[in-house]
Amino acid sequence: MPTLVRKTLREYRRAMIGWAVGIGVFIGMYLSFYPQMHANPDLYGQLAMSKYPENIRWMLGGLESISTGAGFLQAVIYQLFVPMLFIGCAVVLGNRAVAAPEESGTLELAVTLPVTRQRLLLERFAALALALLAVYAVTLAVVAGAGAAVDLGVGFDRIITAHTGLLLLGLFFGVLTVAVGAATGRKAIGLAVAGVYAVAGFVVNALSRDVEGLRWLTWASPFRYYAAGNPLAHGFPLGDYLLLLGASVVLALTAVLAFDRRDVGV
C-alpha cells in the first residue's frame, strides 16, 4: 500500500472507528424495534399513516409497508437517517484530505515530498475510499446480523445491494468535499457545499413526486440515482450506481486538475 495512503488512513483511524460505531449503534437500536412493529402491523401502519402528512411520509420512504422487513429497512435505515449519517462521515473525512491540513499549515510537509501533486491527491482519494469501505463493511455486518436476529426476512443480496448504494452516495459527497477543498483550501466552504447539496438534493428528489416544477432538477440529485431503483425491492440498479460512481470519478479528476494549478497556502 502506498505510503501516503497508509499515512492518511492512520490520520482517519479515530474518525473511522467513531463513525462506524455510531452508525452501527444507530442501526442496531432502530432494528430492535422491528419485532414490535411486525407483531402489530395494523396499529403501527395506521399510526404512521395518520401521524405524518403525505409529503413527509414520502420523504420517509412511504411508510405504508413499515411493518414488513423490506419496508422497515427502507423507511428507517436506507431512506434518510443512515444516508445522512454516512454522508456526514464522508464529508468529515473528505475535509481532512486537503483543506484541513492546508489551514493548519501541515500540508506543506506533504507537498514537499518527492511525489507529484496529482499522485498526492489521488492517494488521498484512495484513502478516503478505503476508509468509507471500512465503515461500509462494519455497518453492513450490523444490518445483516441485527436483521437476522429480529427476523427481518430480507435476503442478504438485497441488503448488500442497498448498502452498496449507501457507499456510493457517501463516496460521491466525500469526493465532492475533497474537490472543493482542493480548489479553495477552505474547510468551511467544503462543508457548506456538501451539506447544502445533500439537503437540497434529498428534498428535491423527495418532493418531485408531487411538485412538477422540481422534476427536471432530479437529474442533478445524487439521491435520484441512490434510491430510484429501490434495490430492496428490485435488486441491483446497475445503471444508477454506475452514474453515481462515474460522477465521483469526474469530480476526482476535476479536483486533481484544480489542485495541481493552484497556489497552496502554507
Distance of CA 246 to the CA centre of its chain: 15
pLDDT level of residue 189 (50, 70, 90 thresholds):
very high
107-119 pLDDT, tens per residue? 766 666 667 888 8
Per-residue pLDDT at 3: 80
pLDDT in tens, 195-226: 999 999 998 887 777 777 777 888 999 999 99
Mean pLDDT of 172-178: 97
How would you label 44-77 residue by residue, b for 16+ Cβ within 10 Å and e otherwise? bbeebeeeeeeeebbbbbbbebbbbbbbbbbbbb
Residue 59 in this model has a pLDDT that exceeds 90: no
Give residue 43's pLDDT band: very low, low, confident or very high (50, 70, 90): low
Q: Please check the confidence at residue 29 and state whether its pLDDT lies above 80.
A: yes
pLDDT at 212: 73
The domain locations on the chain are: 3-261
Which one-letter DSSP state was computed for residue 265?
A: P
Query: What are the CA-CA distances from residue 12 to residues 107, 136, 177, 224 (Å)?
Result: 15, 15, 15, 29
Average pLDDT along the chain: 86
Q: What is the pLDDT of residue 205?
A: 84
The residue-averaged pLDDT of 255-259 equals: 89
pLDDT at position 57: 55
Read off the pLDDT band of 80 (50, 70, 90): confident
Comparing 65 with 222, the larger pLDDT belongs to 222
Q: What is the mean pLDDT of residues 22-42?
A: 85
User: What average pLDDT score do residues 94-101 get?
Assistant: 88
- pLDDT tens across 227-251, in order? 877 888 888 999 999 999 999 999 9
What percent of the chain has pLDDT above 90?
53
CA angle 218, 30, 90 (to 5 degrees): 50
| Residue with the larger pLDDT of the pair 212 and 162 | 162
Q: What 3-state class would DSSP assign to 98?
A: coil
